[in-house]
Structure 1
Amino acid sequence: MSIVPLARFQFAMTTIFHFFFVPFSIGMALAVAIMETMYVITKKEEYLKMTKFWGNIFLLSFAVGVVTGIIQEFQFGMNWSDYSRFVGDIFGAPLAVEALLAFFMESTFLGLWIFTWKMVSPKLHVVFIWLVTFASGISAFWILAANSFMQHPTGYTLKDGHAVMNDFGALLTNAQLWYEFSHVIAGAVTMGGMILAGLSAFQLLKRKNNEMSFYKKSLRLGLLITLVGSLSVLMSGDLQMKALVKEQPMKFAATEGLYRDTPDPAALTMIAWANENQHKRVFGVELPYALSILAYNKFSGSIKGMNSINKQLVKKYGQRNYYPPVNTLFWSFRIMVGFGLLMLLVAILGLFFTRKKKQLLYRQKWMLWILGLCTFIPFVANTAGWLVTELGRYPWTVYGVFTIKQSVSPNVSVTSLLISNTIYFLLFSGLAITMIALIIRELKKGPEDEEKQAQEDQKSEADPFDKGAFE
């Protein structure tokens, strides 16, 4: 064991766990906002019950997301201090705006949403949750502004061994930022919809007659959100991958397992395995023309392989290994795309089989089980996408400017990293178990619990000196 892989593992562990809950909370916030909007428009109490019930699930994801986000920030000072010094002038502005404006706005209006149900009008109250949703998106924007600089550095100069910002506008107009932002938000929308539909399917398996209508509406809404989100994910992902052909050709070639330059037209590799030590493909199954169509929107065009790109990078940046972990990238990309297409298919079929004329899905337990198990798919898909984005940049932390080896703190040791890795793993395991237990508890309570709790709260608010309080 050595310092660099242990530090990388720790950052990956904390980031992956944190990223479980960021899109979860963004997507659920949108779903809850739609529910409350429907209540304000229709005045139907069922939409109010949906808002409060699923709002509790959203609040749990938000709370865990905040905790894991704070833990993740420790990484920069603990294991990546040289990296923090290098990019501090760049990251300071967007991360300060994220914390002081976006997150402050998000938490403030979330507090107003939680505690003002009986204090303000429904029309004003629904504005609070929409502001929370908007602020969560803005928060993601500023964090991705920092991340996009790592992918495609722009608007900076090098001074005294670190990057200094000279054009804040260039940071915000970075094309990579808008590709990432649209893809992440679309993925969050999909995740919120899929979790809503999946958990509703699990609840419908219990067959409680008094709750059937509640969960049917929730399931349909979840599927509709998933459909919109999945289509957006595919479109934004397509644009992002096309940009990689020019901006990060090594990452693109690795996601396709291409060591050699392809012929013209280029075939899409469906399945493959690579010998990473010898830099060659062991086997592969290809689909003719498909890669040229995906990369260039035409039936012609070749793709440079990693061997050719590595020679160019050696000539430009100096002698080192520029090959990323090919098998991990290749299969992570296919898991991401495959699960994305699966969620789109589930949304289409789910909406079809729950239409008014023939609600087949509600009567078939095996269909509900499949939809319920799909609850976990977006977690895997988002993680796979994150692996492609970050691992494909190897060996750089800031692409073409600063390497991973240059980024690690000089004063950490293998022992300290082993201890902190163990502590973080146990902490995250405890948080995950607690989160799952709390969600299960909320689901067991059901939507009627909110009404019972409201009645109890109303009794507790009675004047203790009033005669009726003792009856």
Structure 2
Amino acid sequence: MDVLDLARTQFAVTGSLHFLFVVLTLGLAPLVAIMQTRHALTGKPVFERMTRFWGQIYVINYALGVFTGLVMEFQFGLSWSGLSHYAGDVFGAPLAIETLVAFFLESTFLALWIFGWHRLPRWLHLACIWLVTLTAYASAFWIMVANAFLQNPAGSEVRGDRLALVDPGALLSNPTFVYAFPHVIGAGLLTGGLVIAGASAFQLSRRHPEVEFFTRSMRLGTLVAAVGVFVTIGFGFAQFGPIGGLQPGKFDSNPLSGLSLGLMIMAGELLMLLFMFLLLPLIWWLPKWRWTHPIVILATPVPFVAAILGWLTREVGRQPWLINGRLTVADAMSPGLTPGMVGASFAAFAGLLGLLAVIDYVLIARTVLRGPAATFLGAPEEPHAADRPSPALTY
């Protein structure tokens, strides 16, 4: 394998591993916000416990996912400096906004939410988790704007040996963006909802004593996942029109792209049929009918697989272009790279991200197995010894 193929494979592997964290984050954030909203409106303790339990899983996934994102950013400078030189003024703008605004705001509001339990007023604390959700979606918005530019360099023109941004409106209304962004959001809702439904089905199949807790969680997860699967499939098929006009032959000229597309469509249709004919019609009885639980559990990994297939379909089919029609992958590579250098960084990055993914899923699985009683997020603090009343002296 030459240096170009090594660099491409490195980015594909690390990008796929990073997206596993992202798609779950985008799905869990609004679900946790909905749970806390229900607690704020009703005052029922079960909704607070649901918020804390599933929120803890969200925090685990978010914290580990941050490191994978840093690796992705590092690769642009390491392997693809030609992209920064040629299109940095355009491609770098949405990435800078995502990092400096959306990501930092998301991290700030998440910290306020994590450490604000029993400290902030109820409605202010609730506002924090909704702001976490909105900034997470804003982060995805700007990332997809940058990616859509690679698919179709709208709003830019060549000036000398570089691209310059001349029409920000065209960049934001890029046809390869307006349908892709809702598609990604739908995939996130599908993934987050099905993870909650699958974990709840697992605990109910074990006859966990927290029946009401996991019954409510399973129904909410199933409902949100159903919304997600229909949004994902609808906006997925809506992309064929713009892609056919801007990138004809995208799915025919590279075998991996066509295979990924076929498998992704198959997975989406399988999930749509599952929700349409089983999960949604039986949503009220799902927690009670144990024969449905293995089906939900087995369906839980499918959105993750479909997400990776979708990413590969979108990226591989554009080859040999990095910026469609403007900059090839070969021209975007950093000069002076050798197979040994890229191979070493590939092994380091893939090993690190793979390890983080394993740690993430192990921690999530352990949290699910321990159940709500072991949740530490938002637990009331015990008073310090100095603050406790002294026991009465007896003689």
Q: What TM-score do you get using the length of structure 2 for normalisation?
A: 0.94
- Give yes or no for the alignment of 1:467 onto 2:390: yes
- Give yes or no for the alignment of 1:350 onto 2:282: no
Superposed displacement of residue 451, structure 1: 7.7
Q: Does the residue aligned with 2:119 lie in a helix, a strand or coil?
A: coil
Structure 2 equivalent of residue 449 of structure 1: 374
Superposed displacement of residue 156, structure 1: 1.3
- Give yes or no for the alignment of 1:122 onto 2:51: no
Structure 1 equivalent of residue 2 of structure 2: 2
Name the CA distance, whole Å, in 2 between partners of 1:450 and 1:194. 21
- Give yes or no for the alignment of 1:207 onto 2:207: yes
Residue identity matched to 1:32: V
Structure 2 equivalent of residue 194 of structure 1: 194
Q: Does the residue aligned with 1:164 lie in a helix, a strand or coil?
A: strand
Name the CA distance, whole Å, in 2 between partners of 1:29 and 1:97. 21
Any idea what the Cα deviations from partners look like across 1:63-116, whole Å, max 9, x if unmatched? 122110001111111111112211111122211111111111111110111111
Equivalent positions of 1:132-211 (< 5 A) are 132-208=132-208, 210-211=209-210
Note closer, same or farther for the CA distance 1:243–1:451 as it changes in structure 2 (3 Å cut).
closer
Residue identity matched to 2:304: F
On the 8 A contact 1:226/1:344 being kept in 2, the answer is no
Paired residues in the alignment total 392
Superposed displacement of residue 121, structure 1: 2.4
- Unaligned 5+ segments in structure 2 are none
Note closer, same or farther for the CA distance 1:213–1:469 as it changes in structure 2 (3 Å cut).
farther
Any idea what the Cα deviations from partners look like across 1:267-290, whole Å, max 9, x if unmatched? xxxxxxxxxxxxxxxxxxxxxxxx
Any idea what the Cα deviations from partners look like across 1:123-157, whole Å, max 9, x if unmatched? 22111111110001111111111111111111112
Highest RCO, 1 vs 2 (Cα 8 Å, sep ≥ 6): 2
Q: Does the residue aligned with 2:206 lie in a helix, a strand or coil?
A: coil
Structure 2 equivalent of residue 380 of structure 1: 305
Residue identity matched to 1:245: G
Superposed displacement of residue 161, structure 1: 1.5
Name the CA distance, whole Å, in 1 between partners of 2:235 and 2:82. 33
Structure 1 equivalent of residue 216 of structure 2: 217
Any idea what the Cα deviations from partners look like across 1:6-34, whole Å, max 9, x if unmatched? 00001001110000011110110011011
Superposed displacement of residue 414, structure 1: 0.5
Superposed displacement of residue 345, structure 1: 2.8
Note closer, same or farther for the CA distance 1:153–1:452 as it changes in structure 2 (3 Å cut).
closer
Name the CA distance, whole Å, in 1 between partners of 2:321 and 2:286. 51
Residue identity matched to 1:131: L
Residue identity matched to 1:128: C
Equivalent positions of 1:252-291 (< 5 A) are 252=251, 254=252
Any idea what the Cα deviations from partners look like across 1:17-55, whole Å, max 9, x if unmatched? 000011110110011011111111111110110000000
Structure 2 equivalent of residue 234 of structure 1: 233
On the 8 A contact 1:113/1:128 being kept in 2, the answer is yes
Name the CA distance, whole Å, in 2 between partners of 1:225 and 1:241. 25
Superposed displacement of residue 438, structure 1: 0.8
Any idea what the Cα deviations from partners look like across 1:341-375, whole Å, max 9, x if unmatched? 222233341233342xxx2663334x212211211
On the 8 A contact 2:27/2:193 being kept in 1, the answer is yes
Residue identity matched to 2:27: G
Superposed displacement of residue 450, structure 1: 3.1
Larger Rg: 1
Structure 2 equivalent of residue 281 of structure 1: none
Q: Does the residue aligned with 2:335 lie in a helix, a strand or coil?
A: coil
Superposed displacement of residue 159, structure 1: 2.1
Structure 2 equivalent of residue 389 of structure 1: 314
Residue identity matched to 2:268: G
Name the CA distance, whole Å, in 2 between partners of 1:442 and 1:117. 19
Note closer, same or farther for the CA distance 1:468–1:22 as it changes in structure 2 (3 Å cut).
farther
Superposed displacement of residue 334, structure 1: 2.0
- Unaligned 5+ segments in structure 1 are 255-322
Name the CA distance, whole Å, in 1 between partners of 2:77 and 2:377. 47
